[in-house]
Amino acid sequence: VYLMSLVISGIISLASNVVEKYDSLLAFLIYIVVVLWLFYLLLQIMYAYRMVPYLIYDNPQLKVLDALKQSNKMMKGNKLLLFRIDISLFQWYIYAFILSLIFVVVGEYITSYFLLIIGGVLCIATILGTLLFLYPYICAISALFYEDLKAKSINKIAIDEALLEQNAEESATENNEIK
């Protein structure tokens, strides 16, 4: 993570040096492309290894590098689906933020200390409610996504083994026919 942040900060400083040196629209567009590309790479890495905690929990004897490889293999073709799920859940954070912002803005215009305290309590309750109820919900969805991926990978392994057995039987029959 530290190395990744160093690389990202280096590329961003390089892009900002380009903007300062040339001070043009093209340099700004290059900067935007570089930042979006880095964001894309960061998301790819985050989603590739998102299932590592679940894998290690299911298999405590699993080594970390093996868990990283297995998570990467499980997430191939599934990163976009999980990203869509996360985006759909992100709206709940937005709702909680807007609600707490409303309490803060309304609190600015309240002259009564009693109502001001009630507004502050409601703002804190909104934030805590988000953390207490929404975060476990998101964790449960991630766990269900992992269980679904695990079931798919087990089915794929079973299908692959059945195909291998079928191919072995066919090759054995072909060898017997040749003899």
Q: Does position 56 have pLDDT exceeding 80, yes or no?
A: yes
pTM above 0.75, yes or no: no
Single-letter amino acid, residue 48: A
Mean local confidence (pLDDT), 160-171 = 64
Residue 11 confidence class, pLDDT cut points 50, 70, 90: low
Q: Does position 54 have pLDDT exceeding 70, yes or no?
A: yes
Question: What tokens appear for 131 in the block?
Answer: 């953390």
CA distances from 65 to 45, 55, 68, 143, 145 (A): 14, 11, 5, 21, 21
User: What pLDDT score was predicted for residue 144?
Assistant: 93
| Whole-number Å distance between alpha carbons of 46 and 55 | 15
Q: Does position 145 have pLDDT exceeding 90, yes or no?
A: yes
| Whole-number Å distance between alpha carbons of 4 and 15 | 17
| Whole-number Å distance between alpha carbons of 71 and 41 | 17
Nearest to 149 by CA among 84, 86, 77: 77
Give the alpha-carbon dihedral of 119, 122, 128, 132, to 10 degrees: -170
